[in-house]
Amino acid sequence: MSSDIELTANWLRRAKSAVVFTGAGISTESGIPDFRSPGGVWSKYRTVYFDEFCRSAQARHEYWTQKIEAHVAFAAADPNIGHQTIAKWEEQGRIRGVITQNIDGLHQIAGSQNVLELHGTAREVTCLDCDWRSPVDPFVTQFRETNEVPLCPECGDGRLKHATVSFGQVLPELTLNRALRWCQEADLVITVGSSLVVYPAAGLPEAGKRNGAKLVIINRDETGLDTIADMLIPGSCGEALTAIDAAI
């Protein structure tokens, strides 16, 4: 076992307020492509910006068509050993919770309770006109069958959108503030499977480090915060988390 893994396990064992921060890389081992994978939904379609979605029925149709394709990957995915290990650490009281950029809901399915979803969730829809929320599945079915964008059943004709943060849309303020507080109060921040280049999300582990936390980065490729990290663990998220867990 490498000494880096042992040292990280030591930090985690002693931590009083550790936080895990995850990105798309933790879910690739569940079969969901990350942002940069060639051939993924992300590289195939143009981005529908939030303001377009709001004002154009055609853009809403385009958005729903894209989301339906992404939904297939989500619906078939199960949490992997990485999600499970993070859930276990929370249950054992080793971490305060997990801050995620992911919209796939796999942390909750793995059993994590304290999850801050910075970019919302694709498992629900929300009405832009009355704030109503509901599980996404019936609306996916409806769109597939009718090829018409579903309207909000609560207010009658509200614009329904997946409860995710679109490009051009602001992050949920309460969630972002809470995540910032977790990081500022943390003595250890472990980032898993994030390129740490998407802001404001990447600013959170950075804020943790600035306020005295140790920063551990688990990622296959280079990240935007490698230069300030206390520990870099390159390679598979699942393997790294399993190894740390075994060393605790």
User: Among residues 135, 95, 133, which one has the least CA distance to residue 112?
Assistant: 95
User: Among residues 109, 128, 107, 127, which one has the least CA distance to residue 118?
Assistant: 107
Binding site annotation covers 237? no
Q: At what angle do helices 81-91 and 237-247 cross, to 10 degrees?
A: 40
119 is catalytic: yes
| Least distance from ligand NAD to the Cβ atom of residue 87, Å | 16
Binding site annotation covers 152? yes
Q: Which residue is nearest to Zn ion (CB)?
A: 158
Question: Is residue 123 a contact point for ligand NAD (CB under 6 A)?
Answer: no
Per-residue contact flags (x/-) with Zn ion for residues 136 to 165, judged by CB under 5 A? ----------------x-xx--x-------
Whole-angstrom distance, CA of residue 42 vs CA of residue 50: 16
User: Among residues 102, 61, 63, which one has the least CA distance to residue 79?
Assistant: 102
Please pick, among 71, 107, 119, 162, the residue that the annotation labels catalytic. Answer: 119
Question: Is residue 104 a contact point for ligand NAD (CB under 6 A)?
Answer: yes
| Least distance from Zn ion to the Cβ atom of residue 131, Å | 7
Whole-angstrom distance, CA of residue 18 vs CA of residue 16: 6
Question: Is residue 34 a contact point for ligand NAD (CB under 6 A)?
Answer: yes
Binding site annotation covers 155? yes
Residue at 208: amino acid letter:
G
- Binding residues for Zn ion (CB under 5 A): 127, 129-130, 132, 152, 154-155, 158
